[in-house]
Amino acid sequence: MSAREEILARIRTAVAGAQDVEIPRGYRTERQVDDLVGLFAERVDDYRAIVHVVPSAGVPAKIDECVRGRRMVIPEGFGRDGGWDDLRTADGVLTNCAVAIAETGTIVLDHGPGQGTRAQTLVPDYHLCVVRADQIVPGVPEAVARLDPSRPLTWISGPSATSDIELNRVEGVHGPRTLEVVIST
């Protein structure tokens, strides 16, 4: 018997006669948050990321200010020229996102247009991410519902960190050590 057949047979014997269960979904799947932008900004800031809330017309100028003097990877579809091509020598990466979660201060990339490949958003030491206010949802269930599982997804909550040495939180291990978020309202 193949390993596959044998494991399946063992499972069938093991659970024969066991009761199935109903899944109670009494938790919150939609929640009211009055100030989504404010809550998201506060929660991102809690992770020691840098946050700016900027009216949409002011976003290009804010980006200029953030990237000045940095060799930035700018992925296809972001709509901005002058990107740096070599990932290893780049100082940073500039992206959009797919969804953002207010309650947890999380940004989700689905690596679609303007969001780059997984490597592009990982290797440079600085990540500047532009989040539109209408991309912010209140909680995790609302985000899961909006995402497409057939795409690779990267959920980012603050800069790379570790607590492996005496549980002292240290920002910046292998991922970008600085995360800067521009919320466009």
Given the rule CB under 8 A, which residues bind other proteins? 2-4, 6-8, 10-15, 18-29, 43, 46-47, 88, 101, 103-106, 117-119, 122-123, 140-141, 144-145, 149-168, 170, 172-176
Q: Which is nearer to other proteins, 46 or 65 (CB)?
A: 46
For the bound state, the minimum distance from the C-beta of residue 5 to other proteins, rounded and expressed in Å, comes to 9
Q: Which is nearer to other proteins, 6 or 134 (CB)?
A: 6
Tokens of 165: 């040495």
Task: Determine contact, residues 101/139, Cβ cutoff 8 Å.
Answer: yes
For the bound state, the minimum distance from the C-beta of residue 83 to other proteins, rounded and expressed in Å, comes to 19
Q: What CA dihedral angle connects 33, 37, 40 and 43, to 10 degrees?
A: -100
Strand, helix or coil for residue 184: strand
For the bound state, the minimum distance from the C-beta of residue 17 to other proteins, rounded and expressed in Å, comes to 10
CA distance 23 to 183: 37
For the bound state, the minimum distance from the C-beta of residue 42 to other proteins, rounded and expressed in Å, comes to 11
Task: Determine contact, residues 99/108, Cβ cutoff 8 Å.
Answer: yes
